[in-house]
């Protein structure tokens, strides 16, 4: 039987199915209720970020489960992320995240984007004048300090291209354990997966369903005729096929649902077994990146003048 967790290069294990907690409305009660239901169903990996505003809901739902004695803190893997306006001081940013969560540590702390913003730019879509030059060496030194201080158990990155991962490895004392990136049957990240595997960096797939319902997302994956036909063949759902595809590539999948039926459906994707021919057919699908990051590119203050600069041509 396939293990439901994987060991990272930092020595700890991460459950392969994670619950995403980003929602545009960010209604605390709804988020908390969904996490409560998810924990009862067996989800043991929660993904949040300062910029999602969901840290208080994650912390509170987990605190209640611990008080219930249904769960121990060490049974749940919690990821949060350094927002781009906080690159100046990752230690203070993580301390704030821990206050938001009501926790003493997070399991994983990720650099959310390879982007540095002015300290006041605490909103998801930066203004044209908000950018600074990225100084990855100093940001990463701050991340390593977070680790030294025991504020997190592991550090990693998110939205890093192969080139940026390799550049980071040139000076990192501690290599990233994870690169969390968009990945689904229509954005397969083949090259990045190979580079990360070479360096023992675990790839974690965000928007594993293509983010249907999100401003940047699409139903193209869950409504894809091939994905639907594979689902039919296995008496599964398109979402289960998409999630199992990510798992079959060795990635963890960070899927968001605040709906009890879909939470159950998504966690059951683990039991599906796609055939080799299904995987080969999926490999032929047209690729389409949903989260393109146009809002991080401009001609003036952003170091990225084009999308090709931002993703180093992996777009």
Ligand X SMILES: NC(=O)c1ccc[n+]([C@@H]2O[C@H](COP(=O)([O-])OP(=O)(O)OC[C@H]3O[C@@H](n4cnc5c(N)ncnc54)[C@H](OP(=O)(O)O)[C@@H]3O)[C@@H](O)[C@H]2O)c1
Q: Name the residue nearer to ligand X (CB basis): 150 or 204.
A: 204
Write down the catalytic residue from 22, 43, 52, 304.
52
Minimum Å gap between C-beta 234 and ligand X is 15
- Scan for tokens 């999926």, then name that residue: 282
What are the backbone angles phi and psi of residue 180, rounded to the nearest 5°? -95, 115
- Residue positions in the annotated binding site for substrate? 112
Instruction: Verify binding: residue 83, ligand X, rule CB under 6 A.
Output: no
Minimum Å gap between C-beta 92 and ligand X is 21
CB of 254 within 8 A of CB of 205? yes
Instruction: Verify binding: residue 109, ligand X, rule CB under 6 A.
Output: no
Minimum Å gap between C-beta 134 and ligand X is 16
- Residue 279 backbone class (left: φ over 0; alpha: ψ -120 to 50; beta: rest): alpha
CB of 13 within 8 A of CB of 108? no
- The token duo for 135 is 């100084």
- Residue positions in the annotated binding site? 112
Binding mask 177-206 for ligand X (x = CB under 6 A): ---x-------------------------x
In whole angstroms, what is the distance from residue 227 CA to residue 212 CA? 15
52 is catalytic: yes
Instruction: Verify binding: residue 157, ligand X, rule CB under 6 A.
Output: no
The stretch among 5-13, 141-149, 161-169, 212-220 that binds ligand X (CB under 6 A) is: 212-220
If DSSP codes are grouped into helix, strand and coil, which group holds residue 125?
Answer: coil
In whole angstroms, what is the distance from residue 71 CA to residue 53 CA? 24
Q: Among 254, 267, 282, 296, which residue interacts with ligand X (rule: CB under 6 A)? A: 254
The stretch among 19-27, 68-76, 91-99, 277-285 that binds ligand X (CB under 6 A) is: 19-27
CB of 187 within 8 A of CB of 290? yes
Q: Name the residue nearer to ligand X (CB basis): 98 or 181.
A: 181
Q: Among 158, 162, 179, 189, which residue interacts with ligand X (rule: CB under 6 A)? A: 158
Minimum Å gap between C-beta 283 and ligand X is 20
In whole angstroms, what is the distance from residue 222 CA to residue 245 CA? 12
As a dihedral over the C-alpha atoms of residue 37, residue 7, residue 154, residue 178, rounded to 10 degrees, the angle is -90
Minimum Å gap between C-beta 269 and ligand X is 8
Q: Among 84, 159, 224, 252, which residue interacts with ligand X (rule: CB under 6 A)? A: 159
Instruction: Verify binding: residue 252, ligand X, rule CB under 6 A.
Output: no
As a dihedral over the C-alpha atoms of residue 185, residue 191, residue 196, residue 202, rounded to 10 degrees, the angle is 0
Instruction: Verify binding: residue 213, ligand X, rule CB under 6 A.
Output: yes
If DSSP codes are grouped into helix, strand and coil, which group holds residue 23?
Answer: coil
Helices (H), 249-312: 260-267, 276-282, 307-311
Site of interaction with ligand X (CB under 6 A): 20-22, 47, 112, 158-159, 180, 206-214, 217, 222, 237, 239, 254-259, 262, 265-266, 291
Q: Which residues are catalytic?
A: 52
């Amino acid at each position: 039987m396939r293990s439901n967790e994987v060991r990272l290069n930092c020595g700890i294990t991460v459950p392969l199915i994670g619950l995403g907690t980003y929602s545009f409305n960010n209604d605390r009660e709804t988020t908390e209720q969904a996490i409560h239901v998810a924990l009862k169903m067996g989800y043991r990996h929660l993904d949040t970020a300062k910029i999602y505003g969901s840290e208080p809901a994650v912390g509170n739902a987990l605190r209640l489960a611990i008080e219930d004695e249904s769960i121990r803190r060490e049974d749940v893997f919690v990821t949060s992320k350094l927002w781009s306006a906080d690159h100046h001081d990752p230690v203070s940013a993580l301390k704030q995240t821990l206050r938001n969560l009501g926790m003493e540590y997070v399991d994983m702390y990720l650099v959310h984007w390879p982007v540095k913003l002015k300290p006041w730019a605490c909103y998801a879509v930066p203004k044209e004048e908000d950018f600074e030059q990225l100084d990855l060496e100093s940001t990463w030194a701050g991340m390593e300090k977070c680790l030294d201080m025991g504020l997190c158990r592991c550090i990693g990155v998110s939205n890093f291209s192969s080139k940026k991962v390799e550049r980071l490895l040139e000076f990192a004392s501690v290599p990233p354990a994870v690169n969390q990136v968009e990945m689904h049957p229509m954005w397969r990240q083949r090259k990045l997966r190979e580079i990360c595997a070479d360096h023992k960096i675990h790839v974690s797939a965000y928007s594993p369903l293509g983010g249907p319902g999100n401003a940047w997302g699409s139903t193209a994956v869950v409504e894809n005729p091939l994905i639907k036909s594979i689902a039919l063949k296995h008496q599964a759902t398109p979402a289960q096929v998409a999630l199992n595809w990510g798992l079959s590539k060795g990635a963890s999948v960070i899927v968001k649902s605040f709906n009890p039926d879909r939470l159950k459906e998504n966690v059951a994707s683990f039991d599906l077994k796609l055939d080799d021919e299904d995987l080969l057919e999926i490999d032929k699908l047209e690729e389409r990146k949903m989260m393109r990051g146009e809002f991080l590119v401009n001609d003036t203050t952003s170091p990225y003048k084009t999308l090709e600069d931002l993703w180093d041509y992996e777009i």
